[in-house]
Structure 1
Amino acid sequence: MMNCPAAILVVLFVFLENGVVGEQLSDYLWEQTANYHQKALVSNYIQGIKNVSLDPTEFGAYNIQDAVYVYWFKESIDIAANRTTDTALKQFLLNKSKSHDLEYKKAFKAWHIKDTDGIQLGSACQNYVNHLMNVAKTMDGNYLVTALIPCARLWPWLGQKIGADSGKFGIYNKWVQENLDPNYTGYTKYEKVINDAFTKGTITKEKALQVYGESMMGEVAFFNSVYKTIQQDHHGKF
């Protein structure tokens, strides 16, 4: 029988192999991708919104693509839900599919999109979509949940950083209020799923970081896919 000190050492070794003792996988992933948070904050899209200088055409182009992105986001969830044999994970994914079905249909109506075939995605958005679909089709469903967290957690963080509650974003106030709510905590439901999966040994820290990191890079690239700004008048508004 293993004595107590030896048992403690074994437990500590297991924890240290998978991160700091007591640290949740979700926190580890967030901390390891901190440089991408900052890159997103200074990206063309977020700074254009913050400074009320983003060309409205660029705003529209981004959001039309984002509507299609949400469609494929939902499709990737459906694929993972169909593939998994984990009943709890399947139910979680099906619930998320329903909410994102409503979200993409609302966006399609707002931007007069009939179907995805009529929209040509830019390379940044297309690469991001391809990433999600690849994870959904080839990996355990918990990795797809991992891949979806960066979007859910990054946006409220950005809202907090730019002062989303200030109402100083001109014609973009409505978008900021609806999309960059600093009080949004829905991402914690996704994080609980992957933290539990990691504790059970279903997913690994290394692979989770690879998937999570690629999604973070996708966020930054998509934000930087817009580039035009407009000249503001002397009141700083348009």
Structure 2
Amino acid sequence: MSSNKEEVKLFGLVESPFVTRVEIALKLKGVEYKYEEEKWGNLSETLKKYNPVYKKVPVLVHNDKPISESLVILEYIDETWKQNPILPSDPYERALARFWTKFIDDKCLNVMRKVSFTLDEKERENAIEEMEVALQFLENELKDKFFGGDEIGIVDITAAFIALQEVMGLKLFTSEKFPKLFNWSQNFNNHPIVKEKLPPKETYLAFYKARLESLAASK
């Protein structure tokens, strides 16, 4: 079972999809933790001490031992608290899950940043085309209710930011174009734990609006 809540801390930002990943995993596992909210552009010295290499959230601190990088943290959580596994027990299935989490971060995340924050219309159109190619791979891979089968797994948690596309004001997939992904996003967003941990839509919209205005001002 989980340790008492004083032994587990999560340093995060409410707008960060990487932090959301960790919160969903901790909640699925039933792990009690203390949440330490950081400030965008003004991270605490404690955070920098715990993550001196990247100086960014999320950082999970378990018994005063810090772990950084969301995918590393997810695997640590799964190995430390055995209940409600988010990684498959079969070695081949585990390897596949790791492949798709890497694909989501390497391909989908970078392109989604371009779609969200590129001001040049032509570049944005190219990014949307690139994103649709990546989404088609995920559409083909999705065989059940979730990537993890009937229950949420590590691939679903990693892809949380894709399920949030509408919250960010994007329309990257529809029920007509990507029916399996569309149904997956509805199931994921309506899962009780995900609903509890996802920041309000207004929080995301305000954050992305501020980022876009900042980019426009720096042109």
State TM-score, norm by structure 1.
0.27
Structure with bigger RCO (C-alpha 8 Å, 6+ apart): 1
* Larger helix percent: 1
Radius of gyration: which is bigger?
Answer: 1
* Larger strand percent: 2
State TM-score, norm by structure 2.
0.29
